[in-house]
Amino acid sequence: MFGSGSFSGRSFKLVLAGVLLLFSLLWPGALLFLHGEGESTAAASGSAAGELYLTILHTNDEHAALIPHSPAVDYHPEVENSTVGGCARLATAVKQIRQQKAEAGEPVLLLSAGDHTGGTPFSWLIPEGIPAPLEIMQLIGYDVATIGNHEFDYGTEVLAQSLEAAGYPQAHDRMVLLASNAVPPEEHPLAKIFRRTHLIELENGLTVGLFGLIGQDAVSVAASPEPVEFADPTETAAAMTAQLREEGADLVVAITHCGVEEDRALARAVPGIDVIVGGHCHTALEEPVIEGETVIVQAGSSLQYLGVLELAFDPASKKVRLRNSAGQPYLLPLDHSLEPDPAVNEAVRRYTGELNALIARWTGGRFLNILDTAALCDFTMPDTPPLQETPLGNFIADAMRLVTAQKLGQHVDFAVQANGSIRGSLVPGSLEHSKGKVSFYDLASLIGLGYGPDGRAGYPLVSLYLTGEEVRRVLEVAVLLEQLLGNSFFLQFSGLRYDYNPRNAVLFTVPGLDLPLPSTRAVVRAERYLGRGRQGTEDAGYAPLKRGDQELYHVVTDSYILSFLPMVGEMLPMLEIVPKDSHGKPVPMEDFDKLIVKVNGEELKVWQAVMEYAAAQPRNEAGLPEIDPYYAAPAGRINRVRTVPYLFWLLLILLALVLLAALLIGRAVRRRKARRAVSG
């Protein structure tokens, strides 16, 4: 049962307080969980004098956003600006709240719900043995954190090495790392690092039990979690909750990297979880989601906000209520109003120096600072709306196709990239000192995920060949992914355009198996781009990409997307896609590393191709590259159209066959009757 916790009218308040007090005397367990803005009436009347207070501060999906951003090039310490986030600002906010609460004798816990790595170039330091995000979190004073899917971006060996470099398992004394449903092999280093539960007895006598989960969707998009396996989140949560209660926890907190919808399902399935501090879907919940008697919170991503949750626990009823007042929002913006914490700011400066040196080495001295200008742009290049072709998707896919062609000296027909690897919109600088500038950091943060066999950060580009029929199958798979798995799996293309009807993607779902049966006829029209004319001034237009086309076409994608192709044929044989070499010979999965594009013996990363394409944009009067206005809007490459549903034609054919069968049967019956009449 829930109440708003906010009432109007002094008389009404007094009457209601009296009723609650009488009710509590008759039935001690009757003060059920209350939530809402402001202090509850019970607290105001003094009936909750024995309550124990706790403030939970929380972040999630920090994604190595160590410096203020969006865009980072706008940041200036002496200018009020539009940048958000930054670990130094976070540290100041945490210190201020902790000091305020300490004066009132109230304990504070700072929690992270996973994906503290993956996203910005600061994550590139991790494979180099520099666990910058973790060390910064320890310096800020996080109490407990869980893991997310991006902690596996560089594989479990690198993850274990980075955790060891950050001091684990001894570092649990500073910041506990929970991974309750992650199950590494016993001999794996992570088995000695991951913890399942944590029990804290706070200064005011409140005992808090915590566990950490990674959800099913997060596991499904984890890049390289092998050989770690993952137990069922719901079963794990039930076991951890029961264990923590047995160990004396007054309050059970689940720190989850699941997403709000999975969190809601978890709260319904596992009674006894008081609070879920969530992550993964990057949702900024301005107010908690209440599911049963469980409070669910989430604070966006990339340190845009610090989540603030003020709780009160009643030892008599064993119930918890929210007590955030109107003056204490659930999300505190981390903006220029917060002075950077000196110690954390110095640590960030030191890691920035390490990153600058790394980038200078990787780019041959072309970029010496993460805020160096990569190109100019006078418009925003969005990665939205979801499930549609986007200008940024076109820019990245074109970069992959055209830069690879230039590096290999070979024509490339098509390039493919997934929305899940594109981390936001490209926003150029807007302030006087940064107007129109796109920095290395801002551009690389959008497409810098992954890891290559060379041990360096960034997914490498791969070069392969497919038949025209298989390219059309890729388009059919793209429509299926859109319908079944959502925006992260939506594919952006270069070198082609196509029309499709999403309603024709799936004929029906096989009952009992939950297996969609694809029509393979969602794509209405597909055309390949013929490129520029010989002088490079005329557009040669498009040519049809026909079904059954057995001609080989040169395709570029990244190693992550390539790894999924064999699964398509295993799950849907009618859409089998077999990567081939330039001679049409199939390349087995164990030889996929041979398809990696290399320049002077080094892997060509997606982010490097994007940087080079930005540098190759048309020059302005000052001789600086300026991103072509072509990328200010979509280009009509991926087009939804309305057609007669494919299932309608199948049903029509089926009906025609039934009618034909009935006609033939009727004719046969009439002939038989006629023969009988003649013979009679």
pLDDT in tens, 555-596: 999 999 999 998 888 888 889 999 999 999 999 999 999 999
Q: Are 237 and 270 in contact (CB under 8 A)?
A: yes
153-177, pLDDT tens digit by residue? Answer: 999 999 999 999 999 999 999 999 9
Crossing angle of helices 342-362 and 132-140, rounded to 10°: 180
Q: 277: closest CA among 315, 307, 318, 311?
A: 307
Q: Which amino acid is at 104?
A: A
Mean pLDDT calculated for residue range 222-227: 95
Q: Which of 234-243, 354-363, 662-671 has the lowest mean pLDDT?
A: 662-671
Confidence of residue 485 (pLDDT cuts 50, 70, 90): confident
Q: Are strands 108-112 and 144-146 parallel, antiparallel or unpaired?
A: parallel
Query: Average per-residue pLDDT in the chain?
Result: 90
Closest CA to 298 of 320, 328, 275, 319: 275
Which residues, 6+ apart, have CB-to-CB distance to 352 below 8 Å?
Answer: 66, 67, 370
C-alpha to C-alpha distance for 406 and 231, rounded to whole angstroms: 46
Element housing 155 (H / E): helix 155-165
Average pLDDT over residues 367-377: 97
Residues 6+ apart with CB under 8 A from 208: 54, 109, 199, 200, 202, 249, 250, 251, 252, 253
43 pLDDT higher than 50: no
In the predicted model, what is the mean pLDDT of residues 429-453? 96
Over residues 464-477, the mean pLDDT reads 97
Indicate the pLDDT class of residue 646, thresholds 50, 70 and 90: low
For residue 323, pLDDT over 60 is answered with yes
More confident residue, 415 or 653: 415
Distance CA 319, CA 513 (A): 42
Per-residue model confidence (pLDDT) at position 180: 98
> Alpha carbon 546 to chain centroid distance?
35
Confidence of residue 647 (pLDDT cuts 50, 70, 90): low
Question: What are the residues whose beta carbons fall under 8 Å from the beta carbon of 87, sequence distance 6 or more?
Answer: 65, 66, 67, 136, 140, 303, 344, 347, 348
**What is the reported pLDDT for 645?**
66
**Sequence-ordered strand ranges (E) for 342-390:** 373-376
The percentage of residues in the chain with a pLDDT greater than 70, rounded to a whole number, is: 90
Contact assessment for residue 420 and residue 221, using Cβ atoms and an 8 Å cutoff: yes
Span of 212-216, 299-303, 485-489 with lowest mean pLDDT: 485-489
544 residue type, one letter: P
* Residue 98 burial (10 A CB sphere; 0-12, 13-18, 19+): middle
For residue 414, give every residue at least 6 positions away whose Cβ sits within 8 Å of its Cβ, in sequence order, or none.
401, 471, 493, 494, 495, 496, 528, 553, 554, 555, 556
N-terminal to C-terminal alpha carbon distance within the chain: 84
Average pLDDT over residues 293-317: 97
Contact yes or no for 270/241 (Cβ under 8 A): yes
**Beta strand segments in 258-315, E:** 275-277, 289-291, 294-297, 305-314
Q: CA 283, CA 300: separation in Å to the nearest integer?
A: 5
One-letter amino acid of 296? I
Query: Which tokens sit at 653?
Result: 């054919």
Rounded average pLDDT over 311-315: 97
111: pLDDT strictly greater than 50: yes
Helix (H, G, I), strand (E, B) or coil at 137: helix
Looking at residue 46, its pLDDT comes to 31
Q: For residues 331, 332, 333 and 336, what is the CA-based torsion angle, rounded to 10 degrees?
A: 180
Residue 439 phi/psi, 5-degree rounding, is: -85, 160
Model confidence at 325: pLDDT above 90: no
